[in-house]
């Protein structure tokens, strides 16, 4: 059973539910994903589907040849493996998967993406350090990290010590978000997801809401029939 699909982040906004609650929403474009490769336990040691989306303008021969195995004219721009539990009714190479086949309003999903890169950052921005005191002439310690070692024993800095360094551009999983609407290959998710606009995401279904309030939609006004003019 397939429980995930690839999407592309479009924008973030706000919306209302039918019960009047205002919520933050993220719009994700979920065009059809193509099955590029099928992996089975007998051949590869585990069960998974490799899904691809989009097309590369320029690709090397390895990527082109990999796409030709699924009868694709161009190599996909984004590939992602999706683990599956059962190998029954597996789709064939080159077949397409749409969001409506997996997701529906009211589903609970995990969204996996790459966060925005922030560049080199100090300890205050990166880990919310408090900094040193401003009194007694310590004008240069306001954003300093403080001591990083243990003096004599063990006499070194531990691996993983929270210090200044590269911030962001990491794989992030935001769990237990709610699908509130699916229209015209656009997925509306309650909450915010990692990454900037046009970045690729993996939306994985993990459950269903017991109490679901659908998204409020304004109905189009009914057209009144034109009455003929009386003579």
Residue pLDDT, tens place only, 157-166: 999 999 999 9
Average pLDDT, whole number, for the chain?
A: 88
192 in a domain, yes or no?
no
What residues does 25 pair with on adjacent strands?
A: 13, 190
How many other β-carbons are positioned within 10 Å of the β-carbon of residue 178?
A: 19
Q: Residue 60 is encoded by which pair of tokens?
A: 């090397």
Percent of the chain surpassing pLDDT 70: 94
Taking a C-beta distance cutoff of 8 angstroms, is the pair 49, 90 a contact? yes
Q: Residue 68 is encoded by which pair of tokens?
A: 């030709």
104 in a domain, yes or no?
no
137 in a domain, yes or no?
yes
Evaluate if residue 229 carries a pLDDT over 90.
Answer: no
92 in a domain, yes or no?
no
Higher-pLDDT residue of 127 and 153 is 127
Evaluate if residue 220 carries a pLDDT over 60.
Answer: no
142 in a domain, yes or no?
yes
Q: pLDDT tens across 167-177, in order? A: 999 999 999 99
Burial 115-151 (b: 16+ CB within 10 A, else e): beeeeeebbeebeebeeeeeeeeeeeeeeebeeeeee
47 in a domain, yes or no?
no
What average pLDDT score do residues 95-99 get? 86
Higher-pLDDT residue of 69 and 167 is 167
Q: pLDDT tens across 172-208, in order? A: 999 999 999 998 889 999 999 999 999 999 999 999 9
Residue 152 is part of which domain span? Answer: 117-168
- The pLDDT-based confidence of 228 (bands split at 50, 70, 90) is low
What is the predicted pLDDT for the residue at 223? 63
CA dist list (Å): 100 to 30, 35, 187, 208: 9, 16, 10, 15
Number of domain units in the chain: 1
156 in a domain, yes or no?
yes
Q: pLDDT tens across 7-64, in order? A: 999 999 999 998 899 999 999 999 888 888 888 888 888 888 999 888 888 888 888 8
Q: Residue 30 is encoded by which pair of tokens?
A: 């979920």
133 in a domain, yes or no?
yes
Q: pLDDT tens across 134-162, in order? A: 888 888 888 999 889 888 888 899 999 99
Helix (H) or strand (E) holding 174: strand 171-183
DSSP 62-124: HHHHHHHTTT-SS--SEEEEEE-S--TTPPPTT-EE-GGGT--TTEEEEEEEEPPEEEEE-HH
**C-alpha 54: how far from its chain's center?**
16
Spatial CA neighbour of 198 closest among 28, 33, 51: 28
Global pTM?
0.83
């Amino acid at each position: 059973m397939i429980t995930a699909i690839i999407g592309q982040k479009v924008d973030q906004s706000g919306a209302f539910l039918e019960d009047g609650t205002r919520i933050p929403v993220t719009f994700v474009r979920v065009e059809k994903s193509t099955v590029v490769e099928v992996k089975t336990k007998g051949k590869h040691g585990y069960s998974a589907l490799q899904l691809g989306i989009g097309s590369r303008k320029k690709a090397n021969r390895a990527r082109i040849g990999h796409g030709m195995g699924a009868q694709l004219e161009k190599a996909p721009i984004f590939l992602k493996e999706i683990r599956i539990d059962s190998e029954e009714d597996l789709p064939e190479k080159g077949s397409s998967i749409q969001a409506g086949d997996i997701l529906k309003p009211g589903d609970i999903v995990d969204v996996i993406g790459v966060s925005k890169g922030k560049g080199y950052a100090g300890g205050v921005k990166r880990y919310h350090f408090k900094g040193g005191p401003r009194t007694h002439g310590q004008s240069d310690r306001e954003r300093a990290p403080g001591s990083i070692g243990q003096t004599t024993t063990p006499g070194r800095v531990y691996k993983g010590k929270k210090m200044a360094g590269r911030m962001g551009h990491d794989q992030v999983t935001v769990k237990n978000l709610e699908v509130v609407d699916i229209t015209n290959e656009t997925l509306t998710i309650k909450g915010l997801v990692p990454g900037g606009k046009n970045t690729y995401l993996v939306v994985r279904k993990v459950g269903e809401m017991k109490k679901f309030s659908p998204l409020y939609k304004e109905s189009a006004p009914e057209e009144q029939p034109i009455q003929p003019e009386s003579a």
